[in-house]
Amino acid sequence: MRSIYRRPWRVDVTIRDGVRPPVRAAALARAMASALDAAGAPGPASIGLILSGDAELATLNRAHLGHRGPTDVLSFPLLPVDAFPVHDGEPAERRVPGPGRPFALPPGRRPHLGDVVVSVERAVAQAVEGRGGHGGDVRWAPSDELRLLVTHGTLHLCGWDHARPAEETAMRALERRLLG
C-alpha cells in the first residue's frame, strides 16, 4: 500500500499483484481528491483505492450485491449519506436523520471514508472495445476510463447515485466537469 496526500485527503492505494494500471497512482489520487472536494466530503479524511482485476470484482460483486460476474467498480462507504452535503438530483426521501458528521477520533487520526475497488482489467477492456464512458459507447484511452471509474466510485462513496434520472443527470454532469 502507498499513501498519497492530496490535502486534506490521504489516498491509500493498493495495487494487487499482476495488475498494471495504465495511469500513475498519483493521477488517480488527484481524481479521487477532486471528487471528494466536489462532493463536500468531511475532511481531513482517508480513502482507500484498490486496483484489482475481474476475478476479485466478480467475487465482491457476488458477495455484496448478489450479481454474477465482474463489474468495473464497487464502492464500500463507511459513513452515512447524511455525512455529506445534499447534492443535485438527490431524492429527499434518501435523507434520514442521523449524526451528519463522522464519529469522534483521537487527536491526529483521520476518519476513513471507505474504499473504492476497481477492475483495471475491465477498465482497459471497456476503453479498447468502445464500451467505456458509462454509456457503453466511448472508445478512449484506458487511462481515461480508469480515471472515470475512480471518480465514479468516489462519488458513490459520498452518497451520489444514478438510480433515478435526475440523480444520474447530476452525477454524469459532475463527472464530466471533474474529468475536464
What span, in angstroms and rounded, lies between the C-alpha atoms of 59 and 157? 20
Query: Which pTM was predicted?
Result: 0.91
50 lies in which domain range? 2-179
**Cβ-based burial of 69 (10 A; exposed 0-12, middle 13-18, buried ≥19):** exposed
Task: Identify the pLDDT of residue 82.
Answer: 83
Nearest to 46 by CA among 29, 25, 60: 29
Q: Please give the tally of structural domains in the chain.
A: 1
CATH number where 159 lies: 3.40.390.30
Percent of residues, the chain, with pLDDT higher than 90: 73
Strands 9-15 and 2-6: antiparallel
pLDDT of residue 94: 61
> What pLDDT sits at residue 36?
98
Q: Residue 100 and residue 52: Cα distance in Å, rounded?
A: 32
Rg from Cα positions in the chain: 16
Q: What pLDDT, on a 0 to 100 scale, did the predictor assign at position 93?
A: 66
Least confident of 92-96, 97-101, 153-157: 97-101
